[in-house]
Each structure stands twice: as C-alpha cells, then as structure tokens.
Structure 1
Amino acid sequence: MERFLAESNKNTSSARWEDLNARTWTGLLMVLIGVVAIRLGGVWFQMLVVFVTSVMIWELARMIRPGWDVGAMLLAAFSASVISGLTQQQPDWHLFLLFLPAVAGMLSMPLEKLTFFLFALGLTVAGWGLVEAREVYGGTWLFWMVICVVVTDVAGYFAGRHFGGPKFWPSISPKKTWSGTAAGWIGAGLIGAIFLTFTDAGRDLIWLSMLLSFASQMGDIAESALKRRLGVKDSSAIIPGHGGLFDRFDGLLGASLFMLLLALLVDVPEVRI
C-alpha cells in the first residue's frame, strides 16, 4: 500500500511538471523573437504585432464559430490591413477604424456576437497600442512591460505548481492559485526595482510594475472565462505546450490595455537608459 501511494505521489508530481519542457523551449523562442523585434523597432516590430494580432482574431473567430475557416482567415487578413494602416502616423480620428474588424466579425457570428465584438476590439486596440508604445515611449519602456508580463507568468507558474494552496478564481481558472498570483506581483515588483538601477524612471515604477502584473493576470482570467464559456481547452494548437497565440499573449494584451488606459489618465514618462 505504501509503495502504491509513493508511486501515485510520484506520478502526480511528474504530471504537475509534464508540460514544462515544451513550455520552456517554445517560450524561449517566442521571447527571443520578441526581444529582437522590440530592439529593431520600426517595421519589424509592426509586422510582428500585426501578425500576432491577426492570428488571435483568427483563433477567436474559430473558437466562437468552429469550422468557419475561410471566413476566419479573411477576417484576420482584414484585421491585419486595418492595424497596419493605423501604424502609419495617421490623425487620431482614423482610430475609429479599429472598430471595423470587430463589427465585421460580430455581424458574421450566428451566436456570441457581443462576445466576439468585445474581445476582437480588445485585441485590435491592444495590438495598435503596443506599436504606438514602441514608437512614443521607446524600446526600454516596452522591454520593461514585456519582462514584467513574462516574469508574472513564470513566477506564477512555478509558485503555483510548487506551493499550491487556495485557488484565485476557481470557477473561471481552476489552476490559478493565490500563491502563484502573489508571486507574479512580487516578481514584477522586483523587475521594477531592477529597472530603477539603470533607467531614469521614478520609484513609482515598482508599484506600477505590480499593477501591470495584475492587469496581465486579468487578461489571462478574461481569456480563461472566454474558453470556459465556449467550452474549449485552447484557442488553437499551433504552439507546442502553449496552445494558441491567444493563450500565450493574453497577459500581454491585458497589460497593453492597462497602459493605454493609464496613458489617457496620467502623463506616462519615457523610460530611457
């Protein structure tokens, strides 16, 4: 009996970390691509953001309307065209075009019209916001934001798997724990403290990093709620160990929307080395 329990505990422990290898390698590859694109800026970063955003629109459309392959691809292409056009220093009144992919998709959905509209609008606005952030605030500022999101995810993953404990929001995200959530906040706060040592940012960057961490977690929660509502496990299966791009970038989308909102309310300074 003791041997059986030991084997059972061993198998449970192994299952807890079984996706780590795939997550690690694909995660490192995505981070490398992101770092290079952010460093290069300009059209390189724009192309990456447009590609990722349009793929997520495709994933969203297929989750809500399974089998709608051609229509989802056309909608993704339309989204890419809109975001690409808006990255070319257009007047502010052109921003209403961000609504067009969401409206077009909403009209094509037999069900969950409002769900598609809200999530699609969030995706296009967040994608456009990332490009604008790179142009206006510089690469260092964007590196800070991305690193905070990555550390939030990594710290949450390891702390949640190691410590376990009470669930953060079990009805929506059964795997997310309070220990992992808090670890994400602490990790992001430490990133803010590190950036204080070599940039001109003020001390507010520490608590702002923790708020950014929370926003990224809410992006993850929002996507989890969407998948639970639609009865799907992953947004797609194009990334080994991660599911789809929407599954991987939901936190960054939440962080991007948070920073866009913050920029509307207060003057966000540049973070320069």
Structure 2
Amino acid sequence: MDLREPTADDAERIADVVESSMTASHSLSPQQIDRIVDSEFGGDAVSEKLDGETTLVRVAERGENIEGEAVVGYVEGVVDGDTGELSWLFVDPEHRGRGVGTALFESMREALRDAGASTLRATVLDANTEGGQFFERFGLEHAEERDLSVGDESLVEVVFADPSTVDAGDDEQPGDAGGDDLPGTETEDGTTTATTEDGQSVVVARDERESGTDAPFFVVYTDDSREDRYGYYCANCGSLDVTMDDTERLECPDCGNDHAERSSDAYDDSYL
C-alpha cells in the first residue's frame, strides 16, 4: 500500500471509510455515526483540516495486491506544543488484517515527531473498547478519560500516552479511583474483593474491564488464581448481579448501567 497526504478530491471517499469503519467497530447508532461523520468529515471539513497548520492527515491507498477503492484507511493527528495526539484512525473493514492500521499509526507517529512533538498521545472513543488494545501494542498506556463533543453528540474518549508521561494517579476511570472507592469492595495487597449475597468472597479483576454507560464493568473470579469466572461487577453501584444477553451485552439491573458489545469483526486483530 502507499501512504500519502490526501487531497480535497479524497474527501468523499474518506467519509465513506470513516462511516463503514465506525459501523463495524463502534457501539453507536447509525444516527450517531452519521452525525459524527457529517461534523468531522462531511462538507468542507476534510479540506479545512488539510489547510490547518497544526492538523496532520494521511491516507492509505491500496497497492497492486489490494483490490477495491483506492483509499482504504485514514489517520489524523494534531500537534500541541511538544505533544502530538493521534485523534482519529480508521480502516475500511474490507481491507483489515493487512497491516493498514499499523502502517497508518507508524506513519502518523513519525509525522508528529517531525512536526516537533516529543511525546505521543492517542485517543479512541469509549464506544470502541478494542481500540485501546491496538494502541497498547505500541507501548502506550491508559492515561485518562475525557468528555468529547462532536456535532450534537456528547461522547467519552479514552486517552493513551507514553508510559513516561502517565502518572500513577492518572490511570483512573469512572468508579475506579481506588480499591476502596469501588462500592462494596476491599483491597488488600493489591487484590480487590467483593462479597456476594450468600457471603462468598470473590475477586474483582481491575485489569479486565468492559466499558459502561455510567461506569466500567469488571470481570469477577471466585478466587485469586482467576481460573473460575464468577461473572461481572458493576463499578457504578457495586452489584454482582450483572447480566449478559445472547449478544454479549452487559447490563446491571440494579442501576441501569449497561454496555453494548460490538461484533466479532472488531477493532483489534482485524484492524492491524
């Protein structure tokens, strides 16, 4: 494949790639995706980014061994002082698994450094939890979560950063400021436990997290060996009665916190 700076003539195809990528990998409604695409990539939005002084954009163009539309991937980054932030990365679902996402990431990382950035950050919408796994493969760590307004949509994005710039206190998520701040849990020697209604002590795996609309869900095991899974813990209210339907959608019946799981054709392995 070839990587290059896009032109205004690529705008329509870029919008198509973004829409198809988000449809495949994000737990957002078609209406939400349409509003995001229209706001960030519709009309003159791409042309304005091309003319911007601090915004960098690259597209991946199919090579001789990749059939289909010419542009198959898009990446965008912004330079702010000595920090470079990769803000959007999309790959056409029909062209995943061919190294397109990796090539785009590495190209933008180099472009941001050439533009004067000494540290790197990357963001992914919380509606696409698999995106974090992708960035972690390049050595980035979870730094924070922040609100993002795109058009009329209020979203949450997760920020990943160079490990040297991530303070231990920054790696906090809703309902996850510390072991004792998770409702109904206790933390001792780095192990967080909760107690079931029948008095059984179970282990809350704080490093095995699924996103929720109000707070994360954490995988729960019957003991510290993590051989037998008990279920899920809701960090919003402390309930262990989290349910999962046949589409792997998590929901807490006690407080209404829920999580819509994406399809198996998700961001990570198929994205690289």
TM-score interval, normalised by the smaller of the two chains: under 0.3
TM-score under structure 2 normalisation?
A: 0.26
TM-score under structure 1 normalisation?
A: 0.26
User: Comparing both chains, which one has the higher relative contact order based on Cα–Cα distances under 8 Å and sequence gaps of 6 or more?
Assistant: 1
